[in-house]
Amino acid sequence: MAVSNKPHATGKVPAGDVTQRVGVEQMTSRGLNIEELREKLIDAAGAEFTTYYYYTILRMHLAGKEDYKEICEDARLEDRSHFELITPRIYELGAGLPRDIREFADRAGCPDAYLPDNPTAVEILTVLLEAERCAIRTWNEICDLTLGKDPRTYNLASRILQEEIEHEAWFIELLSMERDGVSRPSGHFRRGNPGDAPHSKNLPFYVP
């Protein structure tokens, strides 16, 4: 067989080797710590999954506040979308979710968004706001780790981050008016459908 003169025809991973991934090796060669990234992604996925669960309870207890319920529902469903978006990437990188959901919940990268003992709207909005802030810190860190080294994870993380930043702005607006009577607009009106996830869904990206 003639030796190929195509520069990308071969590389460090031998032809036919299914125990290694060029998609990982290329990131390693650019200086990315794959082990660290995998662990942080599992922690981040755990935070999205548990937050989705806890937001279910928080939304229930915004009883009588239909506007707050709707916005909490958008943030809740979009966290599920974030979990769905990032989980396949964890497997592509050669890792996976913990077999035991208890382990998964325990290693979540953000605190549990518990229903407050005194579940007033102010108390619940405060929990929601701080959960969004933890998510922003989390996805910013993933963006920092992957910038220029792992375009695929960076793309997913930056799309999630855009929604987390919106979520923070929503809850600042609501808490500021509810607690302090001060107008701090978020620029938000409403999602077209509950939990529309304009950035973190896959379909429009695959079917342009």
Binding-site ranges for Fe ion (CB under 5 A) = 48, 75, 79, 82, 132, 135, 164, 167
Q: Which amino acid is at 167?
A: H
**Cβ 58 to Fe ion shortest distance, Å:** 12
> For residues 181 and 65, is the Cβ–Cβ distance under 8 A?
no
**Cβ 93 to Fe ion shortest distance, Å:** 19
> For residues 68 and 76, is the Cβ–Cβ distance under 8 A?
no
Q: Report how far residue 92's alpha carbon sits from residue 70's, in angstroms, rounded to the nearest whole number.
A: 34
Q: Report how far residue 122's alpha carbon sits from residue 15's, in angstroms, rounded to the nearest whole number.
A: 59
Q: With the C-alpha atoms ordered 121, 122, 126, 127, is the resulting torsion angle positive or negative?
A: negative
**Cβ 182 to Fe ion shortest distance, Å:** 23
Structure tokens at 89: 């990437």
Q: Which is nearer to Fe ion, 24 or 145 (CB)?
A: 145
Q: Which is nearer to Fe ion, 132 or 173 (CB)?
A: 132
Q: Which is nearer to Fe ion, 37 or 72 (CB)?
A: 72
Residue 21's φ and ψ, nearest 5 degrees, are: -125, 125
Q: Where are the beta strands (DSSP E) in the chain?
A: none
Q: Which is nearer to Fe ion, 24 or 125 (CB)?
A: 125
DSSP state of 109: S
Q: Which is nearer to Fe ion, 41 or 135 (CB)?
A: 135
**Cβ 167 to Fe ion shortest distance, Å:** 4
**Cβ 3 to Fe ion shortest distance, Å:** 49
**Sequence-distant (≥ 6) Cβ neighbours of residue 36 within 8 angstroms:** 145
